[in-house]
């Protein structure tokens, strides 16, 4: 089991949140003024947020170990994340089979709204499949979960997952976001290696997007 707590300064949390809010505001201000696709602006914004958050942690905490993303842990984290994803895929496959047996369409429940143009589709996979998961895991698990962890596992799990769900635009019951938030937090808690939930998040998003491709063609 992971250590009881990781000290993350309040100044790190506040600086990280400020960086996120400022970049979000800039994205909203810039988008109407530039001739760029929304996904391009979003991708640039997520990349800037990633760099900004990592800078804040390094500057205020003295290194990336504080949020479990030190470069020497990346290889191990990628492997563990892949193993977690394989197990999650098996469980998801069984759940989809049960839904199908019950007479429902499992792919319809998991459908992601994909763009129809090939160039937009590629951009969607790159931004939604890579840039966004990295930025979100650094924010929600690396910074928020780590900060809340001083009060115990449950407050960290509930707090980081609730914010993860609230800041995603969803319709109806956000099952995917709730399950994802819990899984990502559990993976981080047991490994203290941020590359584990990052890998799970990336592979999970790519899998969900891929499942929607046949419906796009149809």
Q: What is the pLDDT of residues 54-101, one digit of tens each?
A: 999 999 999 999 999 999 999 999 999 999 999 988 988 887 788 778
In 60-156 the beta strands, taken as DSSP E runs, fall at none
**CA 200 to each of CA 14, 31, 70, 103, 141: distance values in angstroms, whole numbers, following the listed order:** 27, 30, 18, 29, 13
* CA-closest candidate to residue 199, choices 69, 111, 104: 69
**Lookup result for tokens 């003295």:** 62
Average pLDDT over residues 18-41: 94
Share the mean pLDDT of the chain.
Answer: 89
| Structure-model confidence comparison of residues 129 and 216, the more confident one | 129
Q: What is the pLDDT of residues 140-163, one digit of tens each?
A: 999 999 999 999 999 999 999 999
Residue 4 has pLDDT above 50, yes or no: no
Helix pair angle (195-217, 118-126), 10° resolution? 160
What are the start-end ranges of the H helices in the chain? 10-30, 38-61, 74-101, 106-109, 118-126, 132-137, 146-148, 153-166, 175-191, 195-217
Contact at 8 Å (CB) between 147 and 57? no
């Amino acid at each position: 089991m992971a250590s009881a707590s990781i000290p993350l300064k309040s100044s790190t949390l506040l600086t990280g949140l400020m960086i996120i809010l400022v970049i979000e505001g800039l994205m909203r201000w810039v988008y109407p003024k530039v001739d760029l696709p929304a996904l391009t602006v979003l991708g640039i914004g997520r990349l800037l947020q990633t760099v900004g958050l990592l800078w804040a942690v390094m500057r205020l905490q003295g290194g990336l170990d504080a949020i479990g993303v030190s470069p020497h842990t990346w290889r191990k984290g990628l492997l563990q994340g892949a193993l977690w994803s394989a197990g999650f895929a098996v469980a998801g496959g069984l759940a989809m089979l049960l839904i199908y047996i019950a007479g429902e369409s499992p792919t319809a429940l998991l459908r992601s709204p994909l763009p129809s143009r090939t160039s937009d589709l590629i951009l969607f996979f790159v931004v939604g499949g890579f840039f966004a998961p990295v930025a979100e895991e650094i924010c929600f698990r690396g910074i928020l979960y780590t900060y809340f962890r001083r009060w115990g596992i449950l407050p960290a799990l509930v707090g980081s997952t609730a914010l993860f769900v609230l800041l995603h635009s969803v319709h109806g019951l956000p099952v995917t976001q709730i399950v994802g938030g819990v899984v990502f937090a559990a993976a981080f808690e047991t490994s203290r290696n941020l590359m584990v939930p990052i890998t799970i998040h990336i592979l999970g998003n790519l899998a969900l997007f891929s499942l929607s491709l046949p419906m796009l063609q149809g």
